[in-house]
A = this chain, B = another copy of it.
Amino acid sequence: MKSIDVCLTPELLHLHNIENSIVVVTDIFRATSCMVTGMAHGIGSITPVASVEECFALQQQGYVAAAERNAQKVAGFDLDNSPFSYMDEGLVGAHIAMTTTNGTLSIAKAKASAVKVLVGAFLNLGAVTNYLQSQQYDVLVLCAGWKGKVNLEDTLFAGALVEALHDEYMIAEDGALLAMRTYQQAKDDMLSYLATSSHVRRLQRLGIHKDIQYCLQRDLYDVVPVLRGSALVCA
């Protein structure tokens, strides 16, 4: 039987053996929600990089570059971290380089030893579920968190995926149980559940309530971004 586990922050990834696992990286507000949205709207590829410097170097090579730190766009880059920016018709077929505070760092950490790295969000929850069911590997959901600490929204997504898969997968450890039960508690009204979370308060101060509501919608897109070499493409 395949197993599923959850790593609540990239700071704990070294405790997990992922050599036989597909790692699903999630950063609901907003990196992986942007990636899924972009892929669903025809973006050619997204190259996630850990640092602003690497992102700038790719911009110099012709990539459309998106750099976010502390939930805001870094000066000099082309795209911000709102999913609505990734629906632009001008980006169809484009190659994007992206760095974010938490999400792209998690992808960089996971790709060193995982079998495959996928990108998950509520927007493609069902598509990711179906893809994983078609594979023979164990699953680790890696929550990007916030600067090493856990956050509620990524834990909720992890729990949603555990709930979707737990009939066919063995739940490996308490991290996965904790996430699943948190999701079960929250799933009927995630927006209210998250209203007092630290990142939602942070984002609301920035006036991006519309992004929050958008990112909490389930199954809007049937795409699964998967890392091939250094770029995310559609599976």
Contact: A178 with B196, CB < 8 Å? no
Given that A177-B197, A181-B185, A196-B171 are contacting pairs, would A12 and B15 also be in contact in the complex, using a CB cutoff of 8 Å?
A: no
Q: Is A149 interfacial (CB-CB < 8 Å)?
A: yes
Of B146, B147, B152, B172, which contacts A178 at CB under 8 A?
Answer: B152
Chain B positions within 8 Å of A11 at CB level:
11-12, 15
In the complex, the answer to whether B150 meets A8 with C-beta atoms within 8 Å is yes
Instruction: Check A177 against B149 for contact (C-beta < 8 Å).
Output: no
- How often does this chain occur in the complex, in copies? 2
What are the residues of chain B within 8 A of A9 when measuring CB–CB?
Answer: 12
Q: Are B185 and A15 in contact (CB under 8 A)?
A: no
- Chain A 148-184, CB within 8 Å of chain B: the 1/0 string? 1111100100000000000000011111011001100
Within 8 A of B (CB), among A19-51: none
Assess the A147–B15 pair: CB atoms within 8 A.
yes
User: 14 interchain pairs (CB within 8 A)?
Assistant: A12-B12, A12-B149, A12-B150, A15-B148, A146-B173, A149-B174, A149-B175, A150-B175, A155-B174, A172-B198, A177-B198, A181-B185, A181-B193, A185-B185
What 3 pairs across the A-B complex have the smallest Cβ distances? A151-B174, A152-B174, A15-B148
Binding site for B on A (CB under 8 A): 8-9, 11-12, 15, 146-152, 155, 171-175, 177-178, 181-182, 185, 193, 196-199
